[in-house]
Amino acid sequence: MKNNKLETWENKVLKSYLDGIQIIRIPASRKKRFVILRWLVRKFELDLIYKESQVNEIISVHHSDFATLRRELIGYQLMERENSMYWRLPASLWKSENEIMHHRI
């Protein structure tokens, strides 16, 4: 039952912040932002390594502020980067929003 409620809430967040494939605005709420970022990171293929320019291009299809969203994908540990190369982490390695916020403090 809890998963159904969470899934319903996440779908509601997506409907509020997306217009088709466009992110209308970046949520101020960390929890809502995390939902949007999990949606966005799925636009990247697993097992591919992207140049920063490619990451920017993919994100810009969905929102003009690609720099902020790129940093957030790294900050929320949905992607990793090294030497201007980026890759998506598998969902099994994604941390919860609480774990990330605890780690940031």
Q: What's the rounded Cα separation, in Å, for the pair 92 and 83?
A: 24
Whole-prediction pTM = 0.86
Q: Which amino acid is at 81?
A: R
Q: What's the rounded Cα separation, in Å, for the pair 86 and 30?
A: 23
Q: In the chain, which residues have pLDDT < 70? A: 1-2, 96-105
User: Looking at residue 6, what is its pLDDT?
Assistant: 72
User: Looking at residue 5, what is its pLDDT?
Assistant: 80
User: Looking at residue 105, what is its pLDDT?
Assistant: 41
User: Looking at residue 56, what is its pLDDT?
Assistant: 98
